Amino acid sequence: MDTFTIGDQDFLLNDEPFRILSGAIHYFRVQPDLWADRIHKARLMGLNTIETYVPWNEHSPTPGVFNTDGGLDLARFLDLVAAEGMRAIVRPGPYICAEWDNGGLPAWLFSDPTVGVRSSEPGYLAAVGSYFDALLPIVVERQVTHGGPVILLQIENEYGAYGSDKAYLQHLVDLVKRHGVDTPLFTCDQPFSTMIEDGSLPELHKTGTFGSRSLERLAFIRERQPKGPLMCAEFWNGWFDNWGTHHHTTDAAASAAELDALLSTGASVNIYMFHGGTNFGFTNGANHKGIYEPTITSYDYDAPLSEDGHPTAKYFAFRDVIARHFPVPAEVPAGRPVRPESVVTMRSGVPLLSAVDALGSVCDVAGPVPRSEVTGQYRGLCLYERTLGRGGVLAFDEIRDRAQFFLDGLPLGTLSRELGERSIVIPRGGLLQVLVEDQGRVNYGPRIGESKGLTGPALLDGEELRDWRIRPLSLDSLDADAGPLGALARDLAGAGGVAGPSLSFATFEADGPEDRYLRLDGWTKGNAYLNGFNLGRYWSRGPQRTLYVPGPLVRPGSNVLAVLELQGSTTRDVRLVSGPDLGPDEK
């Protein structure tokens, strides 16, 4: 079997110097039937390694569960990396950031307020132990020393930006070693202040995360680690987007020049991202640095390989740089094909408030207004209900993250966390219903692990409202052809738009599995589904104007398209187009 070690100046594969030329692909952001294509295109750019995070919360949506089906089949992903003749770097967290919901930490973990976050707190360590018990056997048997592709494993993730609990880091080291991890362990932190020292241990190989001023950043790392190979474990060549901002891009030539400078020093690199993929469903994270900013559905990241897996100008610029230093395969991937566009008209629908019985069961909660986690559902939407004897000004401590208010079925208005709104006028008594959308849990900083829903007390003219009903709405997947929703849907009359909140359905014919983009001009906010699969959130505020539809989701023959519209639309039409529109950039 092979060996992989860290020498005084180089990584050593079978005792020979080995430069890591890695690209990040998050298997959980890519439709699994497309994994092999994305990995192959990484090799064609000149890379020899694939790096991925592992999202604990996605594998373990509820306590005691560890799911490896379909798009979570990490073993299959790593085996495909090996089949392409490439190496792998695994970054299991337990915290990953990654602009992913809650930074990868399960929301159920924090239902107990005594559980710590990224620390030596016993309840947190016990949960991490159970997670690693399930995960690490998949990785251990695929280490390079076992004939597999895995050459490096990360301990925590940019921990120096969060804390400096050395006992916690040592616990993670001891834990992975007890499970049989014998490949080198590393940490990565930003090369600023004391982050590298705070986020690592003497026995762990230190790497940096940066996207510019490569020579300066590498010199900073060398000062703190006199021996061992230099590596940028996240070479930021693009960036992510938040709703309501422009689409972030970086100049391909400038990024390529930085990569050339980095490689010219003899350093290793992991390009973050090589291929970004998509925040399908309700999986996006959010930032909160004074203002709550949810991340959009697309995680294109302005990466060398686009969201739908096609080479960009940056891909070829990077390939040219790599070719100056290393051999590059002669094969070149093809560009995006042009496909005919079509219009799909929504034919049937059902008001969401009329369908709630088919989407979830009511929980009666005595006492103050509850957080949404009491339902056991940790993403998406939930419905609060309470009968009011009178009207008045209804106020909350905070809305997390967007709440639509209805009185006896009639809309009253919307409160938004982003805008800091916390109060609404209720004109009279009646049945109050509040539809609350979790727009993504914060993935970075001290707000990791915070709860969602209506945060109390709930005060009506200063008097606390207690004893609420709350109902989780199961909208992770949706298919009008199955279950009670299909029976509830009625034909949509007229040529106008759709009133929200509602579910609308249509069918369209397709020849087979080809990529498409869904364009929802005239629609306001919600989620779209194809054949039951949640493609992600759309929002008219942008920047993105299209949702990616991976080809393997498209069936030959009839396909079911469903749209969850929360506000209202000016049309019943959606368009299937051949390319993306991620919005205007800042130029």
Structural domain for 271, as ranges: 4-325
Query: Looking at the structure, do residues 236 and 160 belong to the same domain, yes or no?
Result: yes
On whether residue 334 sits in a domain, the answer given is: no
Alpha-carbon torsion 425, 427, 428, 431, what sign? Answer: negative
Give start and end residues of each alpha helix (H) in 147-303.
Answer: 166-178, 195-198, 214-224, 252-264
pLDDT tens-digit map of 401-449: 999 999 999 999 999 999 999 999 999 999 999 999 999 999 999 999 9
Q: How far is CA 233 from the centre of its chain?
A: 19
Q: What is the pLDDT of residue 184?
A: 98
Mean pLDDT of 321-338: 96
Domain co-membership, 461 together with 559: no
469 and 481 housed in the same domain: no
* Nearest partner of 468 among 575, 415, 396, 561, judged by Cα: 396
Last residue of a domain, one of 473, 492, 526: 473
Residues 6 or more apart whose CB falls under 8 angstroms from that of 462 comprise none
Chosen domain end from 473, 492, 524: 473
User: Which two structure tokens, joined as six digits, stand for 247?
Assistant: 């689409």
Task: Tell me, yes or no, if 216 is annotated catalytic.
Answer: no
Length of the chain: 587
pLDDT tens digits, 34-43: 999 999 999 9
Query: Which CATH number do you get for residue 20?
Result: 3.20.20.80
Beta strands in 348-495, from DSSP E residues, in sequence order: 348-351, 363-365, 381-388, 392-395, 398-400, 402-407, 410-416, 423-426, 430-437, 453-455, 459-460, 463-464, 468-473, 477-478, 490-491
- The DSSP letter of residue 189 is E
Q: Which of 158, 293, 307, 373 is catalytic?
A: 158
Residues 240 and 283 occupy one common structural domain: yes
- Asked which of 438-442, 473-477, 540-544 is least confident by mean pLDDT, the reply is 473-477
Tokens of 355: 């369908």
> How many angstroms separate the Cα of 193 from the Cα of each of 5, 97, 198, 244, 364?
29, 20, 10, 32, 50
pLDDT of 194 above 60? yes
Q: What angle do CA 137, 142, 148 make, to 5 degrees?
A: 170
190: left (phi over 0), alpha (psi -120 to 50) or beta: beta
> Tens of pLDDT along 66-108?
999 999 999 999 999 999 999 999 999 999 999 999 999 999 9
Sheet holding 463-464, edge to edge: 423-426, 392-395, 459-460, 463-464
pLDDT digits (tens, 9 = 90+) for 372-385: 999 999 999 999 99
Whether residues 390 and 315 fall in one domain: no
Q: Is 165 exposed, middle or buried (0-12, 13-18, 19+ CB in 10 A)?
A: middle
- Model pLDDT, residue 382: 98
* Averaged pLDDT for residues 481-507: 84
Give φ, ψ of 494 to 5 degrees. 80, 180
191-207 burial code (b ≥16 CB/10 A, e <16):
beeebbebbbeeebbbb
Examine residue 337 and state whether it is found in any structural domain, yes or no: no
Nearest partner of 159 among 450, 445, 442, 441, judged by Cα: 445
One-letter amino acid identity for 175? L
Give residue 546's region: left, alpha or beta (phi > 0; psi -120 to 50): beta
Query: In the listed set 446, 473, 500, which residue is the last one of a domain according to the structure?
Result: 473
Domain contains 331: no
Tell me the two tokens of residue 504: 């609308």
pLDDT at 481 over 90: no
Per-residue model confidence as pLDDT tens digits over 86-97:
999 999 999 999
User: Does the residue 42 lie in any domain?
Assistant: yes
What pLDDT is recorded for position 477? 84
171 lies in the same domain as 238:
yes
Q: Residue 583 falls within a domain, yes or no?
A: no
Pair (458, 510) in one structural domain: no
Separation CA 146–CA 186 (nearest Å): 19
Q: Which H or E element spans position 549?
A: strand 546-549
Catalytic residue among 58, 84, 234, 418: 234
- Whether this prediction's pTM lies above 0.95 is answered by yes
Q: Where is average pLDDT lowest: 139-153, 158-172, 482-496?
A: 482-496
The amino acid at 212: S
508 shares a domain with 459: no
DSSP string, 233-263: EEEE-S---BTTSPBP---HHHHHHHHHHHH
Confidence at residue 586, expressed as pLDDT on a 0 to 100 scale: 72
587 lies in some domain: no
The CATH number given to whatever domain includes residue 482 is 2.60.120.260
Report DSSP state, residue 527.
Answer: E
Is residue 480 scored above 60 in pLDDT? Answer: no
Kindly state whether residue 264 falls inside one of the protein's structural domains.
yes
Identify whether the C-beta of residue 121 lies closer than 8 Å to the C-beta of residue 165.
Answer: no
Virtual CA dihedral for 210, 211, 216, 219, nearest 10 degrees?
40
* pLDDT 10s digits, 208-267: 999 999 999 999 999 999 999 999 999 999 999 999 999 999 999 999 999 999 999 999
Residue 287 scores a pLDDT above 80: yes
Count other C-beta atoms under 10 Å from residue 30's C-beta.
25
Q: Reply yes or no: is the peptide bond before residue 457 cis, omega within 30 of 0.
A: yes
Q: Is 92 helix (H, G, I), strand (E, B) or coil?
A: coil
Is there a domain that residue 59 lies in?
A: yes
**465 plus 525 within the same structural domain:** no
Give CA separation, 30 vs 37, 39, 49, 310, in Å. 11, 11, 17, 13
Q: For residue range 561-581, what is the model confidence (pLDDT) as tens digits?
A: 999 999 999 999 999 999 999
Contact 489, 514 (CB under 8 A): no
The proportion of the chain whose per-residue pLDDT surpasses 90, expressed as a percent, equals 95
- Give burial (CB, 10 Å; 0-12/13-18/19+) of 53: buried
Residue appearing with tokens 């693009």 = 238
Q: Tell me the pLDDT of the chain averaged across its residues.
A: 96
Task: Choose among 241, 357, 343: nearest CA to 301.
Answer: 241
pLDDT band at 483 (very low <50, low <70, confident <90, very high): low
Residue 95, C-beta contacts closer than 8 angstroms, at least 6 positions apart: 103, 104, 105, 118, 156, 157, 159, 162, 448
Are 460 and 536 found together in one domain? no
What are the φ/ψ torsions at residue 552 (nearest 5 degrees)?
-60, -15
pLDDT of amino acid 275: 98
Quickly tell me which residue has 């989780």 as its tokens. Answer: 472
pLDDT of residue 493: 76
Q: Does residue 486 surpass a pLDDT of 90?
A: no
Same domain, 399 and 494: no
Q: How many domains does the chain have?
A: 3
Residue partners of 529: CB distance under 8 A and separation at least 6: 477, 478, 479, 535, 560, 561, 562, 563, 564
Among this protein's residues, is 437 annotated catalytic? no
Helix-helix angle 74-83:122-140, to 10 degrees: 40
| Helix H or strand E encompassing 39 | helix 35-44
pLDDT of residue 494: 75
CB proximity list for 364: less than 8 A, separation 6 or greater:
467, 469
Question: 398 with 280, same domain?
Answer: no
